Chains A and B, each alone.
Chain A
Amino acid sequence: MTDTPAGPAIELANASRWYGNVVAVNDVSFRLDGGVTGLLGPNGAGKSTILHMMAGFLAPSSGAVTVAGAPSWRRPEMYRSIGLVPEREAVYPFLTGRQFVRANARLQGMTSADAEVATARAIGQVELNDAQDRPIGTYSKGMRQRAKVAAALVHEPPILLLDEPFNGMDPRQRLHMMDLLRRMAADGRTILFSSHILEEVERVAERVLVIVAGRLAASGDFREIRRLMTDRPHTFTLRSTDNRALAAALLREPTIGGVELSDGLLTVRTADFGAFSRAVAGVARRAGIRLHELRPTDESLESVFSYLVRR
């Protein structure tokens, strides 16, 4: 690694960012130091704005964003400590993968010989060896993504910021990238990546920051956040041969919080997603009722995030 940051690697202190009347990030505070952290939230939640403030591309409208103890905005020397993988796909299409990664190494101030060695290492790390001499314009989305990651880690920065890094990767590449991130974190790096996919964060991050509508809705150990998400109230709608009888039978189950009958639909509320899912078929069979449809009504990631915000 090129450098070890003094103080917390990254810190946001009551950071807000607005564009005119639109608040993109609202009074967010956290500090990161070592390990992999997932920045989780639906599209448009403010994840990219937070990452761009950390990367020194956006000034906070209020509050402070510091990297290695100093403000990130208008401090080019900070980039020796940071590797950045932007979300936007555009990469110079006329450069080969190797030229692109090497250019990034040279722009970090490496000598030609050092840049050559670092480029070979970074390309090997992302498994891009076979395509390294092809122009990036001919790359698939996943290959382009790997070239961007190689360029970000070519100078071995102690901090890595990745905006939706798994976009466009196939499952094998995804697993490889997750493994790479874990290994780099094990080396003592601070890694923050954004994602709107819960499973991606679950598989690689030790800590999670949940961003909803510009606010930090939850933060901490991933398992704790996962438990909160799983234990929240769930609602299902059912269609059956006899909704009224099914409602009566379900109400005898301890996991059911309430039922409602309307327009040929039975709506059931439960606090235990798993127990209800396992019990409902048996209850219907014992009551001699045939189930036509069982549908969770609020399983979108957005509704999960909204629940975390309301807590």
Chain B
Amino acid sequence: MNGVIAGITLRQLLSRRRTLLLLLLGGVLVLVALVFRLAGDESRALPFTAQLLANLGVAVLMPLVALLFGTGAIGSELEDGTAVYLLAKPIRRGAILLTKLVVASGCAILVTCGPMLLAGLIAAGGLGDGVVLGFVGAAAIGSVLYSALFVALSLTTARALVFGLGYVLIWEGVLSGLFAGTRTFSVRQITLAYADLFADVPPEVFDAQLDLGTASVMAAVVVVTATALAIRRVSMIEIAGETA
């Protein structure tokens, strides 16, 4: 972990206009919770909070935040040429990559879990029998998994945003609803399995579709494979001049 690289990456990720858009998206989550609270249907508070955090927090906010931070952490620097100032230093490229991954994950956790915590507290009118902290904790794990995946993707293709969105919308959004087998390769389903574990609520409130054992194995596979791939890619990456 290099402090200077972490500082630059942090400012780079948080100074962008799209970070503001992501915060607005988080604001929508809070707004929906507020509307529910004002409606005053206390009897449905727990299942509503779980559904809100699962369907808007874990399924929408978490992957979009991680997608923008993950692909922006190093991929955009390679694209605009600023990466040269980090790569032309006596620092192993793997160390640069790991620093950026940690910062991207941290930013993703912050921008995802903050609004989720606030929205959960408002909707449940408190911690909601562990539902709020359960989902927030699971979202932190999911943010790390997504960030690792999207950092690796940004080093593999110039169209990382498109492929990332395709994965989130088509694979996770459509296919995992139709075919149970595809859920094994879904970060969203892995996250929900952890949410189920941490929240420890009855199935009528929330029930994950992936069992915890499979989710744990897949979480380890995703983070290790994506990080190893990203380190390998960044170590081999070549930078050509403006004009060959």
Chain A residues with Cβ below 8 Å from B5 are 107
Q: Are A79 and B88 in contact (CB under 8 A)?
A: yes
Chain B residues with Cβ below 8 Å from A307 are none
Inter-chain CA distance A89–B241, complex, in Å, is 12
Q: Determine how close the nearest CB of chain A comes to the CB of B124; give it in whole angstroms.
A: 38
Q: Are B80 and A90 in contact (CB under 8 A)?
A: yes
Q: How large is the interface on B (under 10, 10 to 19, 20 to 34, 35 or more residues)?
A: 20 to 34
Q: Determine how close the nearest CB of chain A comes to the CB of B113; give it in whole angstroms.
A: 25
Interface size, chain A (Cβ < 8 Å): 41
Q: Which residues of A in the span 121-174 have a Cβ within 8 Å of any Cβ on B?
A: 151, 163
For the complex, is B12 an interface residue (Cβ under 8 Å from A)?
yes
Q: Please count the residue pairs between chain A and chain B whose beta carbons lie under 8 angstroms apart in the complex.
A: 93
Stretch from A51-59, A234-242, A286-294 contacting the other chain: A51-59
For the complex, is B41 an interface residue (Cβ under 8 Å from A)?
no
Inter-chain CA distance A88–B77, complex, in Å, is 12
Inter-chain CA distance A49–B80, complex, in Å, is 17
Q: Are A57 and B87 in contact (CB under 8 A)?
A: yes
Chain B residues with Cβ below 8 Å from A88 are 80-81, 84, 242
Residue in chain B with minimal CB distance to A115? B4
A residues neighboring B (CB under 8 Å)? 19, 22, 24, 43-44, 46-49, 51-52, 55-59, 74, 76-80, 82, 84, 86-92, 94-95, 103-104, 106-109, 151, 163
B residues neighboring A (CB under 8 Å)? 2, 4-5, 7-8, 11-12, 15, 80-82, 84-93, 235, 238-244
Instruction: Give 25 A-B contacts (CB < 8 Å), ordered by A residue.
Output: A19-B240, A22-B244, A46-B244, A47-B241, A47-B243, A55-B88, A57-B84, A57-B238, A57-B240, A58-B240, A74-B235, A76-B89, A76-B90, A76-B93, A77-B90, A78-B90, A79-B88, A79-B90, A84-B88, A86-B241, A91-B85, A94-B11, A94-B12, A103-B85, A107-B91
